Amino acid sequence: MRTTIFPDGTQVPALGQGTWMMAERPERRADEVAALREGVALGMTLIDTAEMYGEGAAESLVGEAIAGLRDRVFLVSKAYPHNASRTRLPQSCEASLKRLGTDRIDLYLLHWRGSVRLAETVEAMERLVEAGKILRWGVSNLDTGDMEELIAAGGTRCATDQILYNLTRRGPEFELIPWLAERSMPVMAYSPVEQGRLLRHTALQAIAERLGATPAQVALSWLLQKGGVIAIPKAGSVAHVRENRAAAEVELGATEFAELDRAFPRPNRRVALEMI
Counting Cα atoms < 13 Å in the Cβ hemisphere of 70 gives 12
On whether the CB atoms of residues 195 and 20 are closer than 8 A, the answer is: no
Residue type for position 160: T
Q: How many Å apart are CA 193 and CA 164, to the nearest integer?
A: 10
List of E strands, 20-157: 46-48, 74-79, 107-110, 137-140
| Long-range contacts, stretch 142-145, CB < 8 angstroms, 24+ apart | 142/110, 142/112, 142/113, 142/273, 143/176, 143/272, 143/273, 144/175, 144/176, 144/179
106 CB-near residues (< 8 Å, 6+ apart): 73, 74, 75, 76, 134, 135, 136
Bridge-based pairing state of the strands 229-231 and 187-190: parallel
Query: How many other CB atoms sit within 10 Å of the CB of residue 136?
Result: 21
Cβ–Cβ < 8 Å for 109, 78: yes
CA separation for the pair 177, 144 (Å, rounded): 9
Taking residue 178's Cβ as centre, other Cβ atoms within 10 Å add up to 11
**165 touches 229 (CB < 8 A):** yes
Q: Which residues are catalytic?
A: 53
